[in-house]
Structure 1
Amino acid sequence: MARKIIRRFLPDATTVKDKPALQFLGDLLHDPNLFHLNRHSVSLAFFFGIFLAFLPLPGQMALAALCALWVRCNLPITMTLVWITNPLTISPIFFATYQLGRWILESPKVTAPTELSWAWLAEEFALVWKPLLLGSVLTGFVFGGLGYITMQLFWRWHVTRSWNKRRKERLNRPQ
């Protein structure tokens, strides 16, 4: 099943629960839905993990953990998918989301500074934040939704394929 494929890449529930850094969460980590691998839990984890990855906010992993606790979806998958925006990919992703937001809002182009300063940053941030946030939220919803649908379809395809394989084996078995 799809569960076996995903389980290979995820940490065990007891490993996560025994982390000293997570002890402040107490009994919240003992909810079995946070580590359960079913179509609903994994699909929601894909949606929220990808959505949060596209938001230009600090502390994305903490937000992913809180979100997984709130909607009771798979915690390790949600937190892992936030790493779509990592130090190598964050610049092109946020540049693309900014350009999308700028195109939708029809904002003027921000000029690159000749000299980087706090004054330039404060002045240009007022022009940049709205397109960046709009583009990030829209892109997060689109790619999060695609991740949700993809996991739903993959799970269904994998289960159907397994059923058909077992049925074929049962029919071909000599009696």
Structure 2
Amino acid sequence: MAKKTIQRFLPDHNKVRDHKYLRIFGRLLHDANLWHLNRRSARGAFAVGLFFAFIPVPFQMVLAAALAIPLRVNLPISVATVWITNPLTMPPIFYCSYIVGTIALAQPTQHFHFEPSWQWFIDSLTTIGPAFLVGSLICASAASLVGYFAIDMLWKRSVRKAWLHRHK
């Protein structure tokens, strides 16, 4: 059940393989284990994708793919999961990461006003930057662990349910 549900949402592996940013991996994308869907590959892929979703860097999809390849987890899931942070969800997620960082570093929250300028970015690296980066790492690790164990639990539950259904 879980496998069929996940497969419904997965993009075609040829489209992912031919994606312009993922072509840098070349022949590494031809490993069959990167496209196979089982409990191990799904839970690992969700963990990888969720980790990079909370890391504030460009090209999160490429980073997720770069880690999915040596871990041999499902590549489409790890790349697609990164899109949890999209232009609509990014501001609240990153603000929460900043709050988590201020709590972890025992710093007071600083009021700031976002400006899309290079100068604001440079200035904020020293003011809110450390708390934001620490918070992002904490949130990324927590989301990764929660995703890993949640997919594992859901997959096991789905298998048990299928077994019970077969025995009836």
Letter in 2 for 1:86: N
- Aligned-residue Cα RMSD (Å) equals 2.2
Matched, 1:98 2:98: yes
Q: CA deviation at 1:59?
A: 1.1
- Confirm or deny: 8 A CA contact 1:46 1:148 kept in the other structure: yes
Letter in 2 for 1:16: V
Q: 2:42 aligns to what? A: 42
Q: CA deviation at 1:92?
A: 0.7
Equivalent pairs, count: 167
Q: 1:130 aligns to what? A: 130
Looking at CA atoms only, which structure, 1 or 2, has the larger radius of gyration? 1
Q: 1:106 to 1:93 in 2, by over 3 A?
A: same
Q: 1:158 aligns to what? A: 158
- Confirm or deny: 8 A CA contact 1:113 1:120 kept in the other structure: no
Matched, 1:148 2:138: no
- Trace 1:1-175 onto structure 2 (pairs within 5 A): 1-17=1-17, 19=18, 21=20, 22-112=22-112, 119-168=119-168
The Cα offsets for residues 43-86 of structure 1, whole Å up to 9 and x where unpaired, read as 00011100110011111111111111121111111011101110
Unaligned runs of 5+ in 1: 169-175
The Cα offsets for residues 74-116 of structure 1, whole Å up to 9 and x where unpaired, read as 1111011101110001111111110110122122433435988
1:24 and 1:119 mapped to 2: Cα distance? 32
Letter in 1 for 2:94: F
Give identity over the alignment, percent.
Answer: 43
The Cα offsets for residues 129-151 of structure 1, whole Å up to 9 and x where unpaired, read as 21111111111111111111111
2:114 and 2:38 mapped to 1: Cα distance? 53
Deviates more, 1:53-62 or 1:123-132: 123-132
Q: 1:127 to 1:74 in 2, by over 3 A?
A: same
